[in-house]
């Protein structure tokens, strides 16, 4: 198990999921870590999952997340050229492996319990364009394992590149978690320690939500040969998400993103996650394309 300052001395082991999952995770090779955050034992608000405390909890709490709707969001970057193939009635299916059969990471988001949200909450904690995230993750914190998985599965298809996506996701969402603030860490805080912890947690939660496998188990696979009923897609994902409804997003009538909703008891890093229903209505039509990449 890795402490962020001791990663170079520890062997790589399989990731520990946020909670038991159905169908297995997307990746191996990520070190299981010890998050050096304050203990929540004996803290009053630790009794409650986020969004369930009977009163107001201080925004300085390290044991109750006020941004209590935790969303693990995923991309399905289908090839839009397949839409042209559909018009020509040319059936195509995706049989390639690995990333082409993986819903990749978008981020780990945090809404307030009423569905509203803040963003870019702590400019003083943000990365700037002069910061090299590879240097921070690999050289400063010794997390080659984490970087290797991020560069493969947390990808940005635009010319800006993947590191710009990582920077954006942490700056926009990661700086807003009250349980991820520097005061929640034990001992002397190292700059960007919470950012690397945010990336680790995002990968962990994503790894426990293998969307492609959830759909494949229901005989829903990428193809240009037919559409699928949105309700069938939603039911397959709900089965994988402990019976809770999942947000399905579409672009041009084709599945393009998935959001899994949670509440958390304790700190967002080492707390207990609980699946919850989506708070967002699907943007998809009643029948959807699930196109190959």
Query: Which residues are the active-site residues?
Result: 106, 169, 173
245's tokens: 């409804």
Q: How far apart are CA 177 and CA 70, in angstroms?
A: 10
Contact 263, 271 (CB under 8 A): no
Q: How far apart are CA 52 and CA 139, in angstroms?
A: 40
Nearest Cα neighbor of 172 from 107, 119, 110 is: 119
Taking each helix axis from N to C end, the angle separating 144-153 and 162-172, rounded to the nearest 10 degrees, works out to: 100
Q: How far apart are CA 248 and CA 282, in angstroms?
A: 5
40 class by beta-carbon count within 10 Å (0-12 exposed, 13-18 middle, 19+ buried): buried
DSSP states of 37-96 as a string?
B---TT-GGGGS-TT--SS---TT-SSS-SS-EEEEEEE----THHHHHHHTT---B---
């Amino acid at each position: 198990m890795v402490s962020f300052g001791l990663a170079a001395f520890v062997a790589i082991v399989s990731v520990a999921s946020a909670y038991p999952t159905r169908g297995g995770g997307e990746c191996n090779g990520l070190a299981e870590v010890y998050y050096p955050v304050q203990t929540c034992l004996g803290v009053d608000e630790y009794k409650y999952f986020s969004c369930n405390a009977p009163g107001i909890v201080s925004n300085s709490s390290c044991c109750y997340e006020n941004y209590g709707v935790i969303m693990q969001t995923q991309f399905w970057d289908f090839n839009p050229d397949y839409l042209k193939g559909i018009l020509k009635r040319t059936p195509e299916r995706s049989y390639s492996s690995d990333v082409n059969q993986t819903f990749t990471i978008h981020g780990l988001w945090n809404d307030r319990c009423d569905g509203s949200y803040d963003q870019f909450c702590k400019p003083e904690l943000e990365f700037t364009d002069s910061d090299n995230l590879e240097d921070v993750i690999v050289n400063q914190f010794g997390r080659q394992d984490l970087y290797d998985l991020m560069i493969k599965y947390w990808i940005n298809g635009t010319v800006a590149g993947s590191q710009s996506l990582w920077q954006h996701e942490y700056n926009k969402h990661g700086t807003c978690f009250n349980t991820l603030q520097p005061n929640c860490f034990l001992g002397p805080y190292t700059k960007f320690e919470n950012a690397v912890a945010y990336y680790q947690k995002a990968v962990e939660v994503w790894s426990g939500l293998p969307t492609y496998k959830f759909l494949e188990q229901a005989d829903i696979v990428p193809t240009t040969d037919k559409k699928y009923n949105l309700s069938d897609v939603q039911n397959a994902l709900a089965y994988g998400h402990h019976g809770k409804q999942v947000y399905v997003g579409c672009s041009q009538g084709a599945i393009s993103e998935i959001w899994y909703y949670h509440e958390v008891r304790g700190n967002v890093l080492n707390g207990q996650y609980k699946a919850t229903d989506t708070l967002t209505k699907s943007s998809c039509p009643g029948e959807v394309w699930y196109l190959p990449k």
